[in-house]
Amino acid sequence: MAAYRPTHSLLVRWALRGTPAYESTIATAFEAATTHATEARFRVEDETICRDAPGVVDRLRSEFDSSSDNGATVYRSADLQHATEVTQPLLNLTRASATGVREVCLTVDGERCLQYVPEHAQFTVSDAVASGIGTSVSETISDKPAVLLPETPLAEWTYQGVSFSVGTSLCIERERTGLSTASCYGLGKLADVTAAPETRTIHLRWELHESSWLVDMIARSVGAIASAIGPTRPKTLHFETETDFSTARESLERVVDGLHGDDGSSAHQV
């Protein structure tokens, strides 16, 4: 079987992870993709899931073909409608048992065209394996807090010797004393962008998310280290050319509109 090479990644609003809205978005995208597949595969840890929802495992065992794989069980079904019905209960487990659902896949004649890894919130598809799968997913999630983006960067530019790129993350690469260092910031946390054409700058507003005191403490520690060794999450982007500015603006607004288009929080004021 050839190595899986995704062409697109699904970016979902970061603050919604672990909520019904997030799970609904993933389930909607999965269901849209099934029309392009021939088989669904669920790679799970039976014991982990049984602690929270034994009925789900019982259903998988009785209704799907299965095989063992490195401490997990792979359940398969060529009945895609049936597989879609099972997907939602599995997604509902991801808040408490993310590591129990290792992977959800769709395949075409044995080749993967979709892969979802709940533990890392990674949902990707391959148009190269299933032509049109990206379009189907994009159209179906148009009213969800998400956007499907190509694996190749939407925008790339250089400002004062520093390289920037926009995809599912904003990546910044610097050269220091002959060494290249890169920092990437997931755009699922991007709340809005404000573009200023007269100065060729784009101001970024990032979404804050409530977290536990332990997560806050870790974040502060990591932030202190990051401040010492590299850039923090950027708030302003600068451009040397009008073309670079326009391309980046269009790309970032595409992300914001996908994540927040229906909540009225993004206006892209100039």
- In this structure, the answer to whether residues 111 and 160 fall within a common structural domain is no
Tell me the pLDDT tens digit for each residue of 193-247: 999 999 999 999 999 754 433 344 444 454 444 434 445 889 999 999 999 999 9
- In this structure, the answer to whether residues 231 and 163 fall within a common structural domain is yes
Kindly list the distances between the CA atom of residue 228 and the CA atoms of 185, 225, 241, in Å, as whole numbers in the listed order.
17, 5, 30
- In this structure, the answer to whether residues 182 and 129 fall within a common structural domain is no
Percent of the chain with pLDDT over 90: 64
Is 269 part of a structural domain of the chain?
Answer: no
The encoded tokens of residue 207 equal 């979404």
Percent of the chain with pLDDT over 70: 85
- In this structure, the answer to whether residues 118 and 17 fall within a common structural domain is yes
CA distance 27 to 149: 18
Tell me the pLDDT tens digit for each residue of 5-42: 999 999 999 999 888 899 999 999 999 999 999 999 99
User: Up-side HSE of residue 227: CA atoms within 13 Å toward CB?
Assistant: 6
Bigger pLDDT: 133 or 98? 133
CA 116, 122, 125 angle in degrees (round to 5)? 60
Q: What is the domain extent for residue 178?
A: 155-260
- In this structure, the answer to whether residues 47 and 141 fall within a common structural domain is yes
Last residue of a domain, one of 95, 125, 150: 150
Neighbouring-strand partners of residue 49? none
Last residue of a domain, one of 150, 183, 213: 150
The pLDDT of residue 90: 80
Look at the chain and report how many structural domains it folds into: 2
Is 243 part of a structural domain of the chain?
Answer: yes
- In this structure, the answer to whether residues 185 and 129 fall within a common structural domain is no
In this prediction the pTM is 0.85
- In this structure, the answer to whether residues 20 and 136 fall within a common structural domain is yes
Is 3 part of a structural domain of the chain?
Answer: no
